[in-house]
Amino acid sequence: MKDSVIIVSGGLDSVTLLYDKAEEIALAISFDYGQNHGARELPFAEYHCTKLGIPHITIPLSFMHRYFKSSLLDGAEAIPEGHYAEENMKSTVVPFRNGIMLAIATGIAESHGLKRVYIANHGGDHTIYPDCRPDFIRAMDGAATAGTFVNVRIEAPYTNITKADIVRRGTALDIDYSKTWSCYKGADLHCGKCGTCVERKEAFQEAGVNDPTEYEPA
């Protein structure tokens, strides 16, 4: 039964969840909040939704680019290089981004009589992103359930698994990962050096799966 909304960015994680839960998803939502890589990732969200026959909308959140502080909104040159575990990666946090997106998706779910909102945060996000952690998801689930007539639930099935686990799952679903985007710099190719590129490389290596991503020359 198609009773769910999904937040899909066009990245590896959310595209995998899109395929994983395709039979349940009535509507997919992307957000354009002025992210450096929006022009690269959002078309992939549209591509996969079209391929699966899932209705897709992109909602503009231009106020975030105007009022929020994050290197993810400040251009490619502001993105630090290195591993997610490093302190400087905290600059890529967009304050309460997932809270804002989940609130909007919850309102849309209730407006359409849908009862679930899927989000694809995973275990590797916990290090630096407060709005990807299990306690945050539990709190948002409680708020969504209490604040809607249809008792919308927030579901984040990848919260406690790794990105490598997600790659394995997506490979089993025959997802073309060359048509997903991770790099926060948003150039023509993945830079291969920012935190999300490093994490992407490590996930394919750990999963034992060929990485189809085109990276800039080292």
Q: What is the DSSP string of 13-43?
A: HHHHHHHHTGGGEEEEEEEES--TTHHHHHH
Question: Which range among 86-90, 128-132, 147-151, 193-197 shows the weakest confidence by mean pLDDT?
Answer: 86-90
Q: Is the pLDDT of residue 87 over 80?
A: no
Task: Extract the annotated binding site.
Answer: 8-18, 183, 191, 194, 197
Q: Which pLDDT value is given to residue 124?
A: 78
Strand order, beta sheet including 4-7: 56-60, 25-32, 4-7, 116-118, 153-155
The CATH homologous superfamily to which domain 4-207 belongs is HUPs (3.40.50.620)
Share of the chain above pLDDT 70, in %: 97
Question: pLDDT category, 84, cuts 50, 70, 90?
Answer: low
Model pLDDT for residues 15-38, shown as the tens digit of each residue: 999 999 999 999 999 999 999 999
Q: Which pLDDT value is given to residue 127?
A: 66
Please state, rounded to an integer, the average pLDDT across all residues of the chain: 95
Model pLDDT for residues 42-62, shown as the tens digit of each residue: 999 999 999 999 999 999 999
Task: Extract the annotated binding site for Zn(2+).
Answer: 183, 191, 194, 197
Each domain of the chain, given as residue ranges in start order, spans: 4-207
Q: Is the pLDDT of residue 143 over 90?
A: yes
Query: Exposure pattern of 130-148 as b/e (b: 16+ CB <10 Å)?
Result: ebbbeebbeebbebbeeeb
- Point out which residues pair with 153 in neighbouring strands: 116
Q: Which residue has the tokens 């935190």?
A: 195
Model pLDDT for residues 153-191, shown as the tens digit of each residue: 999 999 999 999 999 999 999 999 999 999 999 999 999
Helix (H) or strand (E) holding 7: strand 4-7
Q: Which pLDDT value is given to residue 85?
A: 62
Task: Extract the annotated binding site for ATP.
Answer: 8-18
Helix (H) or strand (E) holding 47: helix 38-52
